[in-house]
A and B are shown apart, each in its own frame.
Chain A
Amino acid sequence: MNFSEVFKLSSLLCKFSPDGKYLASCVQYRLVVRDANTLQICQLYTCLDQIQHIEWSADSLFILCALYKRGLVQVWSLEQPEWHCKIDEGSAGLVASCWSPDGRHILNTTEFHLRITVWSLCTKSVSYIKYPKACQQGITFTRDGRYLALAERRDCKDYVSILVCSDWQLLRHFDTDTQDLAGIEWAPNGCVLAAWDSCLEYKILLYSLDGRLLSTFCAYEWSLGIKSVAWSPSSQFLAVGSYDGKVRILNHVTWKMITEFGHPATINNPKIVVYKEAEKSPPLVLGRLAFPPPRAAAGPLSSTESEYEVASVPVSLQTLKPAADRANPRIGIGALAFSPDNCFLATRSDSVPTAVWIWDIQKLRLLAVLEQLSAVRCFQWDPRQARLAICTGGGKVYLWSPAGCVSVQVPGEGDFQVLSVCWHPSGDSLALLSKDHFCLCFLETEQGVGTAFGQRGDHT
């Protein structure tokens, strides 16, 4: 495992291009585009103000930089550095900006969600979509880029509009039986749309592309409901994480629940592997140990040393007492993600912030639990294989695969606190983002990784 040198970064804005060739990162008002392999700067663009959001177009030819404060969007072309485009939303303001899947249209949401403006880069045409709903996830494109589903709110009722992306024609428009629609998400195959209600009510609705209601699922009533939703890459499963600390898996045939994954604070089953990140006493670090794997350069300033241990069951995890009198209590399943091969599901329960649960979807049971020393900031699956990268805001990045688990200290001077991670589309490298720096972590080839994991892979 090799690490690049550390580059500057602001606002955690660092993204690989969809084709994997480039890496865009922002430093204040500058946009830097580097070659993803050599990390040499290819282009350098200067925006009018601090960049708050960047997004690659699907064909990796353009990058949009949103400057929300000024209500501006600046678009840069990679092929023609001199080409530029500036979209000014004026007094309407700007809160969100995104590409349409064709990479030739930009959807800007104005302040107060007054409307969505669709700007075309091909023609001078501008389309407006009125009444977009201000919600968690109100815009979703199908994976093939043909359709856009949009949550709307009119006359105190929720609607979903399905538009054809090629000409922004309205295809379907239907009301959803929700109190307060919180989010919509297309299934990866683009034929089923999941819509869920706000956290006040547990309700998830499934609509066909042609607007028919396929099914409704409600696990319980009178309690806080859905917190997170994720489709499996095969569109076969829909995982719904809720405030009761459970993940419910729905199937795509009957849309009924297959199983329910609870997140208990104690783990008794000896079949479940519990990796516990344990602090190591400093004197031991000086000796050359086989594990953790040798680093490029041992950080002399790294305050804490730690490594994974396989804890013997029963293990009780560190739980957080939620403050019941405050809004957005830290309970429930805050994040969940399927591995690209559909085999695993990673979840995080907000009441046990230090743990990541990994579930075996083939056997529908808990496979492993990773307990970190500090709260898990984010986790992301390798887009190519069942490999999970986890960061906790510390100086380490953690990788899990079915073979085992490793924690890697990010080398470099000073503390490099990994706040977020971002996989290269090929899964060969990983961008580690800290508050104002980023570096790339190049993972070894299959064999190298195999040996690296092999050290702890004996128990799986």
Chain B
Amino acid sequence: MGDWMTVTDPGLSSESKYISQYTSETKMSPSSLYSQQVLCSSIPLSKNVHSFFSAFCTEENIEQSISYLDQELTTFGFPSLYEESKGKETKRELNIVAVLNCMNELLVLQRKNLLAQENVETQNLKLGSDMDHLQNCYAKLKEQLETSRREMIGLQERDRQLQCKNRNLHQLLKNEKDEVQKLQNIIASRATQYNHDMKRKEREYNKLKERLHQLVMNKKDKKIAMEVLNYVGRADGKRGSWRTGKTEASFFLRNEDEMYKILLNDYEYRQKQILMENAELKKVLQQMKKEMISLLSPQKQKPRERADDSTGTVISDIEEDAGELSRESTWDLSCETVREQLTNSIRKQWRILKSHVEKLDNQVSKVHLEGFNDEDVISRQDHEQETEKLELEIQQCKEMIKTQQQLLQQQLATAGDDDTTSLLRDCYLLEEKERLKEEWSLFKEQKKNFEKERRSFTEAAIRLGLERKAFEEERASWLKQQFLNMTTFDHQNSENVKLFSAFSGSSDWDNPTVHSRPRQKKPHGAPSGSPVCTSKLTKSLPASPSTSDFCQTRSCVSEYSSISVLNTAPEESKPNQVGRECTNQKWSVASRPDSQEGCCSGCSSTHADAHIEKDDLP
């Protein structure tokens, strides 16, 4: 039932309830058998159903059938087939509408049930196949289990056999050990017996020897003798001394003394040798230490930067040791503390060196590994190839740079006048800058000269003014005289005066312009393109004080000049209207940022066109 529930739609749950109710009450109904059949068996044929139903209701039992159906339907929760009865006595009428409704509902229900049944059947099929599959699996697994069980049994058997063998071997080993023990015991016993026998024999032998000795020596063997022609002197020239009890003791002492002397000498000699060896070893150690320190100290900064705590501390130790080194070398003592210090420091440094070397090794191996991947192998061929490639690249790059330069120059030559090209060239070449610096100094000198000239000019003008004044006075007095005493040659004189005055008047008129012109023209006017150069120079070399100072002066001058330009602009506006506008524009640009660039742009206002170009360029 549960399975059935899962198969049916949730919408059908209410019907299922009914059905469950119905199934619980199946015993009551006569057609319960059938209905159960319907529920359990697969799709019943419609014909059978029809025939069945025809048997159910006949002409005679319509009423009973209807009432039975009504009863049945009401128990299923359908509305009654009869109309609502008005009274108890009145016979209830069959409600056709209700019957139809019921029938419809029943049909719907039937359809639903059929659908559900179908579902259930497919589910059943599915489950059946699943079941088959599972059974197959089960069989297979069972087989596997069987085989593995068999295997296990085989293994167990083998294990058992091996264990048996092992036990046997153990037994054998034990036996062998016992044997060895026994043999060793035998050997030992034999050895002791042998020793014992030997001792016995030796004792016997000794006894015999003793006996023989007595026999041989005590016989006062006349034969035992030495025949010497005459006794020879000792090798050392000394005479043999007599042995007495007294001298014997002294002899003994002397011998002892000598022996100890010899031993002492030997020990001293050995000590000396050892000392020498030690000293040499110490020297080697010291040297090693020194070399280590020198080797490790250049790397001091690097590990510090890495903030490697261990190496950092050790390196500080090295520094201390380096300080100690001088002391130690001067000491040259074999004192224990010194020795310990030395060995310890050496050990420490050795450790550092080792770790360093290991690190290097690791790096090398890493590089090797990477090298295999990145085809960056440091084999000679590859190296050479690489260098060749790089050289080629360099060549190409150089060429490219050259072409770019050429192109740029061409472009500039076509686009702008000489000033701009020079400007660009300046941008590229430092040497040019130097040259320009020199030029600048030259200009400065020229400026100075100009100033001098101007001064002389002004002086001259002043002088001229004074002279003119004097002349005017003279003329006034002369005119007065003339006026006072009008003579006949009056006309001729007046002509002369006119000429003179014309000359003097023109000079008078020109003078102020001459005065003002150099002042405003000189800074930027005289050499073409120079102000731009200077601006460039100041920009690139702001650090040098001379140039900055100069720049300040320059800016002052330029301000002045620009103001003067502004002042003079109305005068010159008539011939060049466009130029005036440009200058005005420029002026506004210059005033906005109170910086050097502004100053520069201001100063170069006269060359407005060039300037605009320059602004566009970067």
Contacts and interface: CB of A to CB of B under 8 A. Distances in A.
Given A121-B231, A179-B195, A102 B236 contact: yes
B199 interface: yes
Contacts of B259: 147, 164, 171, 209-210
A121 B230 CA distance: 8
Interface in B192-229: 195, 198-199, 202-203, 206, 209, 212-213, 216-217, 219, 221-229
A123 B231 contact: yes
Contact of A164 (B217, B222, B227, B255): B255
A125 B240 contact: yes
Contacts of A89: 223-224
A88 interface: yes
Contacts of A210: 259-260, 263
Contacts of B217: 92
A227 B256 CA distance: 34
B234 interface: yes
Nearest to B239: A122
Contacts of A110: 216
A104 B232 contact: yes
A82 interface: yes
Contacts of A164: 255, 258-259
Contact of A103 (B198, B219, B222, B235): B235
Contacts of B263: 191, 208-210
B56 interface: no
A156 B260 CA distance: 31
B223 A91 contact: yes
Contacts of A180: 198
A126 interface: yes
Interface string A99-124: 00011100000101111000111111
A327 B237 CA distance: 50
A417 B243 CA distance: 52
A85 B236 contact: no
A301 to B, nearest CB: 48
B29 to A, nearest CB: 108
Given A146-B262, A167-B251, A124 B223 contact: no
A69 interface: no
Contacts, number: 114
A97 to B, nearest CB: 13
B231 A124 contact: yes
Contact of A189 (B223, B224, B266): B266
A88 B233 CA distance: 22
Nearest to A179: B195
Interface string A57-78: 0110000000000000000010
B502 interface: no
Nearest to B195: A179
Contacts of B230: 83
A271 interface: no
B229 A191 contact: no
A59 B235 contact: yes
B226 A88 contact: yes
A27 B252 CA distance: 45
Q: Which of the listed residues B234, B241, B258 has the most CB atoms from chain A within 10 Å of its own CB?
A: B234
Contacts of B209: 112-114
Interface in A103-162: 103-104, 110, 112-115, 119-126, 146-147, 153, 155-156
A120 B248 CA distance: 18
Nearest to A163: B255
Interface in A178-221: 179-180, 189-191, 208-210
A83 B233 CA distance: 13
Nearest to A86: B227
Contacts of A280: none
B187 interface: yes
A191 B266 contact: yes
Contacts of A124: 226, 231
Given A125-B240, A156-B203, A189-B266, A90 B232 contact: no
A103 to B, nearest CB: 5
B221 A92 contact: yes
A169 B255 contact: yes
Interface in B267-311: 274
A427 to B, nearest CB: 26
A122 B231 contact: yes
Contacts of A123: 231, 240
B213 A88 contact: no
B234 A104 contact: yes
B243 A167 contact: yes
B236 A121 contact: no
Contact of A114 (B198, B216, B219, B251): B216
B275 to A, nearest CB: 13
Nearest to A102: B235
A87 interface: yes
Contact of B234 (A90, A102, A169): A102
A171 B255 contact: yes
B216 A91 contact: yes
Contacts of B219: 91
A164 B255 CA distance: 7
A377 to B, nearest CB: 34
B258 A146 contact: yes
Contacts of A125: 240
Contacts of A147: 259
A147 B262 CA distance: 11
B255 A85 contact: no
B226 to A, nearest CB: 5
A169 B252 contact: yes
Contact of B228 (A112, A121, A171, A190): A121
Contacts of B241: 167
A150 B111 CA distance: 132
Given A125-B240, A169-B252, A222 B187 contact: yes
B231 A91 contact: no
A151 to B, nearest CB: 14
A46 to B, nearest CB: 16
B231 A171 contact: no
B213 A85 contact: no
Contacts of B223: 88-91
Given A104-B234, A156-B202, A156-B203, A126 B216 contact: no
A208 B198 CA distance: 30
Given A156-B202, A209-B259, A210-B259, A85 B266 contact: no
Contacts of B243: 167
A198 to B, nearest CB: 11
A88 B224 contact: yes
A91 B255 contact: no
A216 to B, nearest CB: 19
A365 interface: no
Given A167-B243, A171-B256, A209-B259, A104 B225 contact: no
B233 to A, nearest CB: 7
Contact of B224 (A90, A103, A222): A90
Contacts of B187: 222
Nearest to B236: A102
B233 A191 contact: no
Nearest to B226: A87
Contacts of A384: none
A106 to B, nearest CB: 9
A84 interface: yes
A190 B241 CA distance: 25
A104 B241 CA distance: 14
B222 to A, nearest CB: 8
A35 to B, nearest CB: 23
30 contacts: A59-B235, A82-B229, A84-B227, A84-B228, A85-B228, A87-B225, A87-B227, A88-B223, A88-B224, A90-B221, A90-B223, A91-B216, A92-B217, A102-B236, A103-B235, A104-B235, A121-B228, A122-B231, A122-B232, A123-B231, A155-B206, A156-B198, A167-B241, A167-B251, A179-B195, A191-B263, A208-B263, A209-B262, A210-B260, A210-B263
Question: Which 8 A-B pairs give the minimum distances between C-beta atoms?
Answer: A90-B223, A90-B224, A191-B266, A90-B221, A123-B240, A85-B228, A156-B199, A86-B227
